[in-house]
Amino acid sequence: MPISESAPIEFWGAFTSRTVRPIWAAEELGLDYQLHAIGPRTGETLTDEYTALNPKQKIPCMVDRSGDDAFVLTESLPIARYLVSRYGDARLSTPSSPIDQAKEDEWCCYALAELDATSLYIVRRHRDLAHIYGESPVVVDSCFEYVERHLKVVERYLGGREFVMDWGFSLADIMLTTCLTWADNYGATLQAQTAAYVERMTSRDAFISATRINQPKGN
């Protein structure tokens, strides 16, 4: 959807695998929204104005002003979950039972905890951001070994599946795909089923739009 300067939903944050998640969810749902394309470690998250909004001084952050009071939410998974739960439809539906909800949460948390936070982000800290956190080839190598181990789990699970969940495209696909593309960009090996899955997910119109929006021109 075109970004609207008057939309009640506002996002802060761009340029990362984490910030693309709520944008992708909004694109799948056809929502109008505003985007403040601030980046990490640019100083933009440290301003008094942004700190009042998000004391964590991290991105992404969302404000939804469609209700009586502005609703502020941070962290990519809860933001995307909120958008799906409040505005979901057949294009990006909510689970229909507690069991389906639990299975979707299992995969969302798995992608976030094991691929994102425990391994890929650690590589980013000690390789890409070594000037801040210190260079550690041993840690980086260990993280890649951990990623490869869990990519084998993903490969086995995706065999014969079009989507992560049986009922179709879901939040679990957004979470897993953003981690898999991150891993691929870092040079990890995506096996046949996983590579085919990523090709399907990244061919979606909403993903293409979200990726373009997440990397504004001139950056």
Q: Where are the domains of the chain?
A: 9-92+207-214, 98-204
On whether the CB atoms of residues 118 and 179 are closer than 8 A, the answer is: no
Using left for φ > 0, alpha for ψ between -120 and 50, and beta otherwise, residue 75 falls in: left
Nearest to 40 by CA among 56, 16, 10: 16
Please say if the pLDDT value at position 218 is more than 80: no
On whether the CB atoms of residues 32 and 73 are closer than 8 A, the answer is: no
Mean pLDDT of all residues in 100-126: 96
> What string of H, E and C letters represents the secondary structure of 45-68?
HHCHHHHHHCCCCCCCEEEECCCC
* Greatest extent of the chain over all pairs of C-alpha atoms, in Å: 51
Exposed / middle / buried, residue 35 (Cβ in 10 Å: 0-12, 13-18, 19+)? buried
Nearest to 24 by CA among 90, 69, 91: 91
Assigned CATH topology for domain 98-204: Glutathione S-transferase Yfyf (Class Pi); Chain A, domain 2 (1.20.1050)
Which has more confidence, 91 or 123? Answer: 123
What predicted TM-score, i.e. pTM, was given to this entire model? 0.94
Helices (H) and strands (E) in the chain, counts: 10, 4
Q: Amino acid letter at 95?
A: P
Digit-coded pLDDT (tens) for 135-169:
999 999 999 999 999 999 999 999 999 999 999 99
Q: Amino acid letter at 60?
A: P
State the average pLDDT for the chain: 93
Please say if the pLDDT value at position 90 is more than 90: no
Mean pLDDT of all residues in 102-118: 97
Nearest to 41 by CA among 14, 65, 4: 14
Please say if the pLDDT value at position 212 is more than 80: yes
Which has more confidence, 108 or 67? Answer: 108
Nearest to 154 by CA among 124, 126, 119, 121: 119
Please say if the pLDDT value at position 1 is more than 70: no
Mean pLDDT of all residues in 66-78: 93
Please say if the pLDDT value at position 3 is more than 70: no
On whether the CB atoms of residues 163 and 169 are closer than 8 A, the answer is: yes
Please say if the pLDDT value at position 73 is more than 70: yes
Mean pLDDT of all residues in 19-31: 96
Assigned CATH topology for domain 9-92+207-214: Glutaredoxin (3.40.30)
